[in-house]
Structure 1
């Protein structure tokens, strides 16, 4: 890749010498005799016409620091390296504050200039990769790219899209493996905070003492012989989002500290005396009903209302079966690419098994099952025998897996009814008249229930 470079110096001999050296190194070089001429070039060719700028400080008309100031005001993002034979530490610091990448003292050696530019190239490469990675993450987590054919998941995404740009706390409640972290990342990626950090911590997986330091940081000496201060996640997530996974596992004394952050917008390091203002959006997740936990005394009621300003119930996979084929295709495409295998689909029998299975591990389990199936597949399609044994063995009865905290007969019966309707429609290839006869209900009732369950034909 050829880089463009602008040399700004009032000494012709310096410009010509640098131009000859850098042209030999593969740079496309343009020269300017002073800061004003350089600014004119930016106006003519565009603020980002040059990848790099080597600029002298002491020049007539417009000096280097003034050029630097005006170039940045024009939106120039080029990597600018300042040069001077009259520089001081103060001058160098001022140049860096104004946005210069580095500072070289004259007279300089050729190797010094080349090394500085190579370091700048590496920095630019890393910045480009970082920008590309961020954009790829944003694309992946855009709401429209998430799988949501089922009405319940569509409602979840619509709610998250509505609140994405606000600092309001969000609580995601759902079984393990339902995709709560994916939704938290999507909320962040679709918000005004997308350029800020997204950090996460599992409140159950970290010991209490470690978790306090992890969240709030610590001052030197707060933990015996630890000599250095360390910022906590609230400080590190400034301007971004902090995802508290399994927030129900937060110890009581840390619940008090979290409450203060959410109420007052300040945090305090362990062993510290100063309150530090933080601008962080908190997204929490729980597998259990926090209201029930509040009633049992395991979670502070005032904190519950702070973390659940926007409560979002994430449905288990067994209650969003319309999404299974779409999720299968998404995972199939990814694992086929990762393994290099030419698997492009799932047989009718295999898909029938996937649709009938209860998925106690939800989307995470489906992802693992498809990864295994792609590895086991011999041709272009996943067959029934490529699926995990427990899925093949669990096909005799009706699917509805009943969660450990599920007691509603009404909900379970509704799932059975929905599965029977889906099974009859698959059996009759979508013929609703024949399906109604198999189900022993009227055609009108079947149409009503198809609409009620959101079944796509």
Structure 2
């Protein structure tokens, strides 16, 4: 039975009673039980067992030996301080001296007793003291759980302990309680969307909407439909009335709206955004009235908005609104001391996603990663590890497995794939793999997990000579797909 079940079945709470004196232990257990508490009699302190710890709100120590054992447990696990400890009877000066001798390093203050019970106390006094201790324990545990949840949310996937990452964490902590718009600025491939999610998660303990809109896809024809909403005349079995489709602003109400790649918004689209966010209101076709923008706005940009304003490519007023608070995300090249930890994290995530065993990052592999110029930032590192995990069945991520792929245009420049057809992307992958295998068709087919005849047919269609024909033994360079 867990602690919540115990607390729900009791009017007061659960208490551990610890003493080697069986009669004394039973007397105190009977006294506390008559007051309406559930008692857990123990002959000795046994905090190492999680079930025993979880089943009690407070602990009452009855003799010197149990006190000594408790101080020893605190020395080895400071988390035990979260449970209030009461002494019954009160801890005398002589007992304190006995506790602290024989090499004990724990001080009386570090034991943090909640209070001391005295035999001459009235029943009401004991009950009030125990109730206060139990209430304190439950509030402390609830607070610890919430802090742990917030810390886990705010730090998830933000990997590294370099100075620039610590500065980034401090900057995030400074702005999470502000409701002003935030601009996240970083190079392509940096984790701007991740930082936006961290800010959102740090703001809200409960579930609140997180809505993203890609400004690169917004046009003057669809921007109001996307942001404000629209009616559609779809057939419905319930009503002949048109169906209202809420916009992203309404979907994000009470939460966060992310304007992704806001630097790519056209000037007419910027004008509509300015009209909405300057007045913080918009006209709702559904309610036929002005509504307030009730969400936090986080924008991401790979280019400085001030530079775009100076080039007349971005509206000055909109830039002022969106950059009220600005966070610059550091480049991976500026925090290469985080590469080991970051790479290990990505290896673990990729292995979990692909259902494979995590590779072991070797020292020569790490040195190669540190020497590389990460123009594609974290996204390039993620693509590299995913690709090596796919084509290399070895158990190590070393220099030998990285060297054929590190710096590959196919991996580092992911933006070059935008706008390509599936056939063009397939050709680029096959040609790149074929070149890195030195023209060896067997190795290429094995890496791509396709048949040898299929590979040969693809290469012939790309203009490569047939196998065994003239020039079939030459080493090929990567050709650009048409």
- Which range, TM-score by smaller chain? 0.5 to 0.7
Match of 1:196 among 182, 186, 208: 208
Q: Which whole-Å deviations, capped at 9, do the CAs of 1:130-166 have from their partners, x for residues lacking one?
A: xxxxx99977642375213221222122111111122
Q: Is the counterpart of residue 231 in structure 1 residue 234 in structure 2? A: no
For residues 336 and 159 of structure 1, do their structure 2 counterparts lie closer, same or farther at Cα, with a shift above 3 Å needed? same
**Is the Cα contact below 8 Å between 1:213 and 1:270 reproduced in 2?**
no
Paired with 2:9 and 2:149, the residues of 1 have a C-alpha distance of 33
**Is the Cα contact below 8 Å between 1:242 and 1:282 reproduced in 2?**
yes
For residues 392 and 203 of structure 1, do their structure 2 counterparts lie closer, same or farther at Cα, with a shift above 3 Å needed? closer
Q: CA RMSD in A?
A: 3.6
Equivalences for residues 65-214 of structure 1 within 5 A: 141-143=153-155, 146-192=158-204, 195-214=207-226
SS of 1:333's equivalent?
helix
Partner of 1:302: 317
Partner of 1:334: 349
**Is the Cα contact below 8 Å between 2:281 and 2:293 reproduced in 1?**
yes
How far has the Cα of 1:220 moved from its partner?
A: 6.0
Partner of 1:27: none
How far has the Cα of 1:194 moved from its partner?
A: 5.4
Equivalences for residues 345-360 of structure 1 within 5 A: 345-360=360-375
How far has the Cα of 1:209 moved from its partner?
A: 1.8
Structure of greater Rg: 2
Number of matched residues? 270
Q: What is the TM-score when the length of structure 1 is the normalising length? A: 0.52
How far has the Cα of 1:211 moved from its partner?
A: 2.9
For residues 393 and 328 of structure 1, do their structure 2 counterparts lie closer, same or farther at Cα, with a shift above 3 Å needed? same
SS of 1:389's equivalent?
coil
For residues 364 and 145 of structure 1, do their structure 2 counterparts lie closer, same or farther at Cα, with a shift above 3 Å needed? closer
Partner of 1:127: none
How far has the Cα of 1:352 moved from its partner?
A: 1.0
Paired with 1:341 and 1:220, the residues of 2 have a C-alpha distance of 46
For residues 392 and 211 of structure 1, do their structure 2 counterparts lie closer, same or farther at Cα, with a shift above 3 Å needed? closer
Q: Is the counterpart of residue 380 in structure 1 residue 430 in structure 2? A: no
Q: What is the TM-score when the length of structure 2 is the normalising length? A: 0.50
**Is the Cα contact below 8 Å between 1:172 and 1:313 reproduced in 2?**
yes
How far has the Cα of 1:42 moved from its partner?
A: 9.2
Match of 2:283 among 252, 268, 291: 268
**Is the Cα contact below 8 Å between 1:219 and 1:230 reproduced in 2?**
yes
Q: Which whole-Å deviations, capped at 9, do the CAs of 1:16-45 have from their partners, x for residues lacking one?
A: xxxxxxxxxxxxxxxxxxxxxxxxx99969
Q: Which whole-Å deviations, capped at 9, do the CAs of 1:229-266 have from their partners, x for residues lacking one?
A: 22111111000000101111223333233234333332
Q: Which whole-Å deviations, capped at 9, do the CAs of 1:401-457 have from their partners, x for residues lacking one?
A: 9xxxxxxxxxxxxxxxxxxxxxxxxxxxxxxxxxxxxxxxxxxxxxxxxxxxxxxxx
How far has the Cα of 1:271 moved from its partner?
A: 9.1
- Answer with 144-153 or 326-335: which moved more: 144-153
Paired with 1:139 and 1:370, the residues of 2 have a C-alpha distance of 27
Paired with 2:270 and 2:390, the residues of 1 have a C-alpha distance of 45
**Is the Cα contact below 8 Å between 1:147 and 1:327 reproduced in 2?**
yes
For residues 363 and 270 of structure 1, do their structure 2 counterparts lie closer, same or farther at Cα, with a shift above 3 Å needed? farther
SS of 2:243's equivalent?
coil
Paired with 1:340 and 1:145, the residues of 2 have a C-alpha distance of 20
SS of 2:165's equivalent?
helix
How far has the Cα of 1:373 moved from its partner?
A: 2.2
Q: Which runs of 5+ in 2 are unaligned?
A: 1-7, 14-146, 234-240, 414-482
Partner of 1:84: none
SS of 1:268's equivalent?
strand
**Is the Cα contact below 8 Å between 2:150 and 2:205 reproduced in 1?**
no
Paired with 1:290 and 1:270, the residues of 2 have a C-alpha distance of 32
For residues 378 and 230 of structure 1, do their structure 2 counterparts lie closer, same or farther at Cα, with a shift above 3 Å needed? closer
